[in-house]
């Protein structure tokens, strides 16, 4: 029985090559996971910023008016005026850029601590929102059958929980 594989290498050489490729792959895949996670999180914040920019035009879709929009999104009355939503859009875009920098998808002329702290801020904010969403899911502070209650259960809380987990992972990487 030959110690040569079908490719002409010895079993020892093939085993050694497989071991070295296995050792190299996790670093590359970890970097790719980090970048993918950052891009996904930045995408969520970017979509949210887009909604805020859209509402800054005075449009209230998908709601019929500003009051129902506020109740569906925030469960309270808040004006969706440019003076309110434009600064929020700017914060969301800034946070998205810093997430991309943390994930290595873009380079910003900042010390690495800044994107890491911004990522921790995103993780903290989404964690707080997810916990609040769990409290609202019990019915506390919400009206049965309201648009907010449904959106909180099906969209806001699960999305914030997923974003929080991903952001905390990105902070540690």
Q: How far apart, in whole angstroms, are the C-alpha atoms of residue 153 and residue 168?
A: 22
Tens of pLDDT along the chain (173 residues) come to: 545 555 555 555 555 555 554 455 577 799 999 999 999 999 999 999 999 999 999 999 999 999 999 999 999 999 999 999 999 999 999 999 999 999 999 999 999 999 999 999 999 999 999 999 999 999 999 999 999 999 999 999 999 999 999 999 999 99
- 24: Cα separation from own chain's centroid: 27
Burial-class residue 99 by CB neighbours within 10 Å (0-12, 13-18, 19+).
Answer: buried
Structure tokens at 126: 């989404």
Instruction: Supply the pTM of this predicted model.
Output: 0.82
Q: Are 152 and 139 in contact (CB under 8 A)?
A: no
């Amino acid at each position: 029985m030959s110690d040569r594989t079908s490719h002409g290498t010895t079993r020892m050489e093939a085993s050694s090559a497989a071991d070295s490729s296995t050792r190299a792959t996790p670093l590359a895949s970890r970097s790719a996971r980090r970048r993918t996670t950052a891009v996904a999180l930045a995408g969520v914040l970017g979509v949210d910023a887009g909604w805020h920019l859209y509402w800054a035009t005075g449009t209230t879709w998908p709601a019929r008016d500003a009051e129902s929009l506020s109740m569906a999104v925030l469960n309270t009355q808040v004006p969706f005026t440019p003076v309110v939503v434009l600064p929020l859009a700017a914060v969301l875009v800034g946070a998205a850029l810093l997430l991309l920098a943390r994930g290595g998808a873009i380079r910003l002329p900042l010390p690495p601590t800044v994107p890491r702290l911004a990522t921790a801020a995103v993780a903290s904010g989404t964690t707080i929102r997810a916990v609040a969403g769990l409290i609202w899911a019990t019915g506390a502070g919400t009206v049965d059958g309201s648009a907010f209650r449904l959106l909180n259960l099906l969209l806001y809380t699960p999305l914030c929980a997923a974003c929080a987990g991903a952001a905390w992972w990105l902070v540690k990487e």
